[in-house]
Amino acid sequence: MNTPEIKPAPKVGFVSLGCPKALVDSERIITKLRAEGYELSADYQGADVVVVNTCGFLDSAKQESLDAIGEALNKNGKVIVTGCLGVDEERIRAEHPGVLAVTGPHQYERVVTEIHNVVPPAHDPFQDLVPPEGIRLTPRHYAYLKISEGCNNTCAFCIIPSMRGKLASRPAGDVMREAERLVTAGVRELLVISQDTSAYGLDLKYADSDWNGTALKTRFFNLTKALGSLGVWVRLHYVYPYPHVDEVIPLMADGHVLPYLDIPFQHAAPNVLKAMRRPGTQAKTLARIEGWRALCPDLAIRSSFIVGFPGETEEDFQILLDWLREAKLTRVGCFKYEDVAGAASNALEGHVPQEVKDERFARLMETQKQVSAELLTSRVGREIEVLVDDVDEEGAIARSSWDAPEIDGCVYINGESELSPGDMLNVRIEHADEYDLWGVPVSSRT
Ligand code: SF4
């Protein structure tokens, strides 16, 4: 047996200036680096790269930071700047054009990504407790891929922006490296999540990010395309129908990514959408959906709705039901409005009585049940590819491209107990009810 080659751990030099908040930032960065197997270097000469965490509070602190960057450049040459002075990239680059990257305060992940670009982590499976793909709570064959945190919208019923802050996107190269690790570990379906997937990259001004030596834009379309090149199912969640979403539909029509969009519409009546302060304009949404289906007839659209939002009248609710009948969405989830501590909608007038909410919920679900039954019946006789999630004594429980795990429907393959979770095969659909399909195998691709 060959002895595995143990590579020396890469070393990072760290200069931390400024206040306790900057110190905490440094600690977080260092903790992450240590967990990835990096070592700290006590001097400039022994470091593979030097991070200077700067302060930008007073002029004297700015000068001290600039001097520290200069010293690190002279003594080592490979320098990444982070911290408060990072917001003034122009000044740093004017004085020190040789710095490799400049990031701002609290951008731990970006700093780590920039360090990866200069000196990649040396993962040692014999020593590391954490596998390279990280620790996951999902089954081995699918994984959630978080591309950003926070949200720039101010929906009246939502407290996420106040809890998680404004949109903070992960650089596209960083997301791709995680996706590659997951695929190498056996993942066959990547579920892209965030609070607002279509806004991805806006905060980073869609900046280029290194991925295998190429410049990949931190942008919804570019990331979707790159993920589609990994050869696994890619499913997009929490997409708002901004105009640029149109660009990914051809990728779906070509089979590059799954023909699936999870768009939380929440309502259809203009009054309610306005009171909800929802992003995007709903006015032409039906026409947009029609256009998408013309390009990609197999497109599945899943959405969620809130009934009984403060001020919702019976007329508003009827608009929503009519819209649902016309839009013929593939999958629909529904919530009865509830106050959430800290949400702006709590203060709105016209709170809807609970029994009205219950009754509207039941009517919405009944309406969608009919839409769903019609849609699923139209799939009987078709041959489709499925991914097996579970197997029991009755057979296999799988999903098609139209169904996300946990929230959508299933394809039951009765009598096929020899299959395993993660298997992919083609089935012919023989039966449908309101929510699920039943099929028989026609070929397998495990
Ligand atoms: S509902 Fe979604 S889009 Fe609206 S503020 Fe909350 S996270 Fe943002």
Residue 191 near residue 145 (C-beta atoms within 8 A): yes
Model pLDDT, residue 20? 60
Model pLDDT, residue 24? 66
For the cut 50, the answer to whether the pLDDT of residue 379 exceeds it is yes
For the cut 90, the answer to whether the pLDDT of residue 299 exceeds it is yes
- The preferred substitution site among 149, 154, 158 for testing ligand 1, maximizing ligand atoms within 8 Å of CB, is 158
User: Of 287, 227, 280, 291, which is closest to residue 256 (Cα–Cα)?
Assistant: 227
Distance, CA 201 to ligand 1 centroid (Å)?
16
* Cα–Cα distance, 17 to 411 (Å, whole number): 57
For the cut 60, the answer to whether the pLDDT of residue 127 exceeds it is no
3-class secondary-structure state, position 427: strand
For the cut 80, the answer to whether the pLDDT of residue 253 exceeds it is yes
| Tens-place pLDDT, residues 130-166 | 566 666 667 889 999 989 988 999 999 988 888 778 9
Inter-axis angle of helices 354-377 and 314-327, to 10 degrees?
A: 10
Model pLDDT, residue 302? 96
Find the mean pLDDT for residues 287-308. 95
Per-residue pLDDT band at 251 (split at 50, 70, 90)? very high
For the cut 60, the answer to whether the pLDDT of residue 197 exceeds it is yes
* Cα–Cα distance, 33 to 113 (Å, whole number): 10
Residue 331 near residue 376 (C-beta atoms within 8 A): no
Lowest mean pLDDT among 161-165, 217-221, 384-388: 161-165
State the closest ligand 1 atom to the C-alpha of 278, by its place in the atom list counted from 1.
4
For the cut 70, the answer to whether the pLDDT of residue 126 exceeds it is no
The whole-model pTM stands at 0.74
Model pLDDT, residue 3? 41
| Tens-place pLDDT, residues 28-63 | 788 778 877 788 888 898 999 999 998 876 777 788
Distance, CA 141 to ligand 1 centroid (Å)?
29
Distance, CA 16 to ligand 1 centroid (Å)?
36
- Total count of residues recorded for the chain: 446
Q: What is the mean pLDDT of the chain?
A: 89
Distance, CA 285 to ligand 1 centroid (Å)?
18
Per-residue pLDDT band at 294 (split at 50, 70, 90)? very high
What's the distance, CA 423 to chain centroid?
Answer: 24
Residue nearest (by alpha carbon) to ligand 1 atom 7: 195
Model pLDDT, residue 4? 42
User: Of 364, 391, 382, which is closest to residue 437 (Cα–Cα)?
Assistant: 382
What spatial distance separates the first Cα and last Cα of the chain, rounded to whole Å? 30
State the closest ligand 1 atom to the C-alpha of 152, by its place in the atom list counted from 1.
8
Per-residue pLDDT band at 2 (split at 50, 70, 90)? very low
State the closest ligand 1 atom to the C-alpha of 240, by its place in the atom list counted from 1.
3
Which residues form ligand 1's pocket by a CB distance below 6 Å? Answer: 151, 153-155, 158, 160-161, 195-196, 279
The tokens describing 408, both together, are 């959508």
Lowest mean pLDDT among 24-38, 177-191, 216-230: 24-38
For the cut 70, the answer to whether the pLDDT of residue 187 exceeds it is yes
The tokens describing 178, both together, are 């995680």
Distance, CA 274 to ligand 1 centroid (Å)?
14
Model pLDDT, residue 342? 85
Distance, CA 158 to ligand 1 centroid (Å)?
6
What's the distance, CA 183 to chain centroid?
Answer: 16
Residue nearest (by alpha carbon) to ligand 1 atom 2: 195
Residue nearest (by alpha carbon) to ligand 1 atom 3: 153
Per-residue pLDDT band at 406 (split at 50, 70, 90)? confident
Distance, CA 277 to ligand 1 centroid (Å)?
10
For the cut 80, the answer to whether the pLDDT of residue 260 exceeds it is yes
Find the mean pLDDT for residues 403-407. 91
Per-residue pLDDT band at 230 (split at 50, 70, 90)? very high
Model pLDDT, residue 224? 98
For the cut 70, the answer to whether the pLDDT of residue 282 exceeds it is no
For the cut 60, the answer to whether the pLDDT of residue 445 exceeds it is no
Residue nearest (by alpha carbon) to ligand 1 atom 4: 155
Find the mean pLDDT for residues 355-363. 97
Distance, CA 264 to ligand 1 centroid (Å)?
9
For the cut 80, the answer to whether the pLDDT of residue 271 exceeds it is yes
